[in-house]
């Protein structure tokens, strides 16, 4: 069996896959680690477990997660030896990791090197890896990097037009995120279409609380929207997305806001929340727009307009588009945003069938939403980052491990 682990600053999420990856045998999470409301929730085979108690650190949370998997009443395994490999979500691999990798001491040291690039994300990832190695010694562990898929971007796409030394000396460049999700859905799209991935020029719209647009040409990422610091591209739940950086100086000098205040505004108070004045959740914004709230309507319009702009831009970057994919919370569940984003793209061969679009909500299967017979397939593909992590883990674990 394969265990996947996604370790955040105050959470551990885990899933246990059957050896052939066809089934999720158990899934669980410890939330609010180190905070007063910390608790573990866990489900397997229709049974569930809720354990609200102090989890002062990731160490206790990790031990409790393994104990839940082994629990005689609620557990999914009888002995820890049944876990044959562990896959870890790893956020930032900089340019040191171009693909998923088996973890050894050298990999951990390289991941440490990447910490300055993702100070909020990489340290908890490393904690998860260390805890898993302690509790499951000798079991192969794999790191699957969010940034790896975007390592195929050409320099013209990943470089900023800053003095070159900032790239050379400080690794300042576009890295891109959500790569695990984008890789999964672009491969799924090729499977569903029965097309070799090499023949596809796909734009993937990963529209969740975080938003990433990616141009995938022949299965390789060639451009993406999120840049250096999990920022850029389309507006998100609370992040503004693309803004003129001159604004930051203006907010500081003319309005007297400190850098910390500006950071808070553009990361936490902008995007859907900022424009709508109501919520960072598209469901709430859409409801209020429906009820006549003009700011909410405008927030949706701006969101869809930015998505549409990048579909066009990336079609131009690839010299065409023959597959468009919507995924993640908004992409999988909002026919309205999908229709608005595709409006006016008929000149690229992109059309949306109203009934198919309305029907493709919250499903588990990839579904086409273009009218039958139109040239560009438009697909809603549910993403599954854990499955992608498990797939890489299985492949690499079978190839032999360094421990
Ligand atoms: P994350 O980036 O945190 O992984 P998700 O992919 O889970 O986020 O997406 C979360 C977003 O999906 C939320 O902003 C929510 O508004 C949106 N969402 C979920 N369900 C719906 C729905 N039925 N209609 C519109 N938006 C939805």
What would the pLDDT profile of 306-341 be if each residue is shown by its tens digit?
999 999 999 999 999 999 999 999 999 999 999 999
Ligand 1 atom closest to 282 (CA): 16
* CB of 209 closer than 6 angstroms to any ligand 1 atom: yes
Q: How far apart are CA 341 and CA 188, in angstroms?
A: 22
Which pTM value belongs to this model?
A: 0.94
pLDDT digits (tens, 9 = 90+) for 255-306: 999 999 999 999 999 999 999 999 999 999 999 999 999 999 999 999 999 9
What pLDDT score was predicted for residue 400?
A: 67
For the chain, the domain total comes to: 2
Q: How many CB atoms lie within 10 A of CB 264?
A: 14
Q: Are residues 231 and 342 in the same domain?
A: yes
Nearest alpha-carbon partner for 381 in 190, 100, 220: 190
Percent of the chain with pLDDT over 70: 99
Range of the domain at 44: 2-145
On whether both 361 and 233 belong to a single domain, the answer is yes
CATH of the domain at 319: 3.30.420.40
CB-ligand 1 contact for 283 (6 Å cutoff): yes
Residue-level pLDDT at 140: 96
Which of 226, 230, 329, when mutated, tests ligand 1's pocket best, judged by the most ligand atoms within 8 Å of its CB?
329
For 373, the token pair is: 């017979």
CA distance linking residue 327 with residue 181, whole number of Å: 9
pLDDT value for 9: 83
Contact indicator for 70, 77 with CB cutoff of 8 Å: yes
**Alpha carbon of 177 to ligand 1 centroid (Å):** 17
**Residue 393 falls within a domain, yes or no?**
no
Place of tokens 């600053």: 9
Query: Among this protein's residues, is 146 annotated catalytic?
Result: yes
Structure confidence at residue 403 (pLDDT): 44
Q: Which two tokens stand for residue 381?
A: 């593909």
Same domain, 324 and 213: yes
Q: Are residues 313 and 371 in the same domain?
A: yes
pLDDT less than 70: residues of the chain: 400-403
Residue nearest to atom 27 of ligand 1 (CA): 330
The reply to whether 292 and 340 lie within a common domain is yes
249 alpha carbon to ligand 1 midpoint, in Å?
A: 32
């Amino acid at each position: 069996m394969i265990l996947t682990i996604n370790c955040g600053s105050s959470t551990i999420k885990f899933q246990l896959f059957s050896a052939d990856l066809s089934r999720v045998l158990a899934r669980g999470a410890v939330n609010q680690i180190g905070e007063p409301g910390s608790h573990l929730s866990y489900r397997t085979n229709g049974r569930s477990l809720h354990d609200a108690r102090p989890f002062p650190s990731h160490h206790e949370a990790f031990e409790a997660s393994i104990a839940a998997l082994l629990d005689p009443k609620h557990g999914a395994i009888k002995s820890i030896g049944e876990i044959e490999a562990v896959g870890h979500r790893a956020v930032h691999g900089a340019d040191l990791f171009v693909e998923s990798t088996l973890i050894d001491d050298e990999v951990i040291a390289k991941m440490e090197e990447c910490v300055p690039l993702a100070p909020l994300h990489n340290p908890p990832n490393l904690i998860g890896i260390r805890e898993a190695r302690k509790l499951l010694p000798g079991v192969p562990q794999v790191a699957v990097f969010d940034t790896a898929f975007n390592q195929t971007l050409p320099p013209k796409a990943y470089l900023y037009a800053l003095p070159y030394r900032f790239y050379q000396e400080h690794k300042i460049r576009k890295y891109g995120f959500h790569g695990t999700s984008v890789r999964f859905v672009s491969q799924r799209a090729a499977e569903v279409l029965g097309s070799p991935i090499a023949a596809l020029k796909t734009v993937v719209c990963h529209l969740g609380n975080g938003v990433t647009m990616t141009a995938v040409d022949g299965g390789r990422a060639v451009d993406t929207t999120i840049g250096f610091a999990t920022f850029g591209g389309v507006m998100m739940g609370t992040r503004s997305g693309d803004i003129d950086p001159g604004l930051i100086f203006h907010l500081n000098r003319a309005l007297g806001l400190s850098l910390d205040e500006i950071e808070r505004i553009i990361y936490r108070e902008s995007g859907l929340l900022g424009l709508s004045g109501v919520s960072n959740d598209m469901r709430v914004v859409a409801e209020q727009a429906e009820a006549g709230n003009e700011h909410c309507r405008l927030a949706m319009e701006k969101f869809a307009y930015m998505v549409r702009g990048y579909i066009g831009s990336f079609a131009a970057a690839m010299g065409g588009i023959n597959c468009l994919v919507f995924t993640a919370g908004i992409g999988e569940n909002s026919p309205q945003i999908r229709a608005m984003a595709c409006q006016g793209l008929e000149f690229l061969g992109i059309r949306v069938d109203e009934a198919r679009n309305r029907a493709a909500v919250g499903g588990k299967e990839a579904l086409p939403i273009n009218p039958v017979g139109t040239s560009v397939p438009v697909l809603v593909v549910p993403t599954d980052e854990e499955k992608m992590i498990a797939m890489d883990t299985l492949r690499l674990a079978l190839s032999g491990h360094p421990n």
